[in-house]
Amino acid sequence: MFNRDRWREILEVLTSNVGRTILTAFGVCWGIFILIVLLAAGKGFENGIRADFGDIATNTMFMWTRRTTKPYEGLPKDRSFEFKVSDVQAIWDNVPNLRFVSPRNQLGGFRGGGNVIRGIRVGAYNVYGDYPEIINQDPMSVTSGRFINHNDIKDKRKVAVIGQGVKSELYDKDEEVLGSYIKIQGVNFMVIGTYKKKNNDGDGEEAQKEIYVPFTAFSQAFNRGEDVGWMAITAHDGSSISELKHNIIDVMKTRHKIHPEDKRAVGHFDLYEQFNRVESLFVGLKAIAYLVGIMVLLSGIIGVSNIMLIVVKERTKEIGIRRALGEQPWSIKKQILMESIFLTIISGMAGIIFGSLVIYGINSLLDNTGPVDMFVNPSVSVSVVSGAMMILIISGLLAGFIPANSAIKVRPIEALRTE
């Protein structure tokens, strides 16, 4: 391996016909380049989609009411109903392995404009009546003050936590926010904190234009009574909300006298199921990238093998002389294999470097032009590069195996007669 004469001979062979060597190396270089770029692109899409999910608890489902489609126990079909606060405790009592069950109410946003007033400034924002646990299901950073707590729930305090977008529209730049009041549909709420959310488009402008108030204060102020608009339910790690949701829905059907076969009465969205579908998509994209890259690389390896066969043919007389002088077949075989591996690795390294430069250029462009939806920070890990190197070494061995066997099959007498 460290024989200087052997390496000098390898370089002489590869430089004896530079054009042929470069064309042969290009196939391997292009294959590794395609593999690296495709994997990086797949990672960029993965990062972008994961950024859409943000830090939200993915093992979560959302549940709401719709009209019934079947009559049941003397009640007609096309009947509307509402979840109640007592349903929350019923879910806790009947369904195990739940981490959070958060009843929620909402007003404003697309349902009506100008619902929030401060002084002479007016804005249309989504206002949520929530429990403190919602910050664990839909994470946000509290930038000043605090988030709502259970004392606020217990005492039905009319307090509010506003997003940075609400603050920038209703307040002057240096104006004190904490302790001030905003009027939500005619009811005064004191601001006790501000928050900021993060998603794939930077600060997520719309996500910053929301207001959170205690669930009990919301129900009292806006005459919701015991009604619950919808629920966010999160399972413990190790338990799938997709498996638990059927039990949860059955509990609601029983409590609200809904036909067991009515599939539409209780609406739900399984975030965990959607997340798993996206995960499967990532696996599929990675498999396709490997398949395409390796197939292109294989064509390059076949080219290397063909060229090495030509080289062996051209050196038939030389091989015969070396055999006649007593060189062992394994030494000749090793020489051919080393030439093949060296050419493959050098070509592959050029592809890795070229691919890395392209990825660096794309990231620089994204940094300068701003993030693109669903495509963030395309990159490849060290393990991928290490895997590519292993592929190159194995490919070099395979490419040189047939030419090497061909070389040691040459009989010295016949080789010396070759012109």
pLDDT, residue 311, reads 72
Q: What is the pLDDT of residue 200?
A: 46
Rounded (5°) CA angle 149-154-158: 70
**How sure is the predictor about 297, in pLDDT bands with cuts at 50, 70 and 90?**
confident
Cα 157 versus chain centre, distance: 40
Higher-confidence residue: 323 or 337?
A: 337
Interval 386-397: pLDDT, tens: 877 787 778 777
Report the C-alpha gap between 221 and 123 in whole angstroms. Answer: 19
When pLDDT is cut at 50, 70 and 90, the band that residue 202 belongs to is: very low
| Range from 48-62, 312-326, 375-389 carrying the lowest mean pLDDT | 312-326
Comparison of pLDDT for 163 and 307, the residue scoring more: 163
- Of the two residues 7 and 285, the one the predictor is more confident about is 285
**Burial (CB count <10 Å: 0-12, 13-18, 19+), residue 56:** middle
pLDDT tens digits, one per residue of 70-90 = 999 889 999 999 999 999 999
Q: What is the mean pLDDT of residues 259-264?
A: 92
Q: Are 262 and 68 within 8 A, CB to CB? A: yes
Cβ(211)–Cβ(66) under 8 Å? no
pTM for the whole thing? 0.69
pLDDT digits (tens, 9 = 90+) for 135-157: 988 888 899 999 999 999 999 99
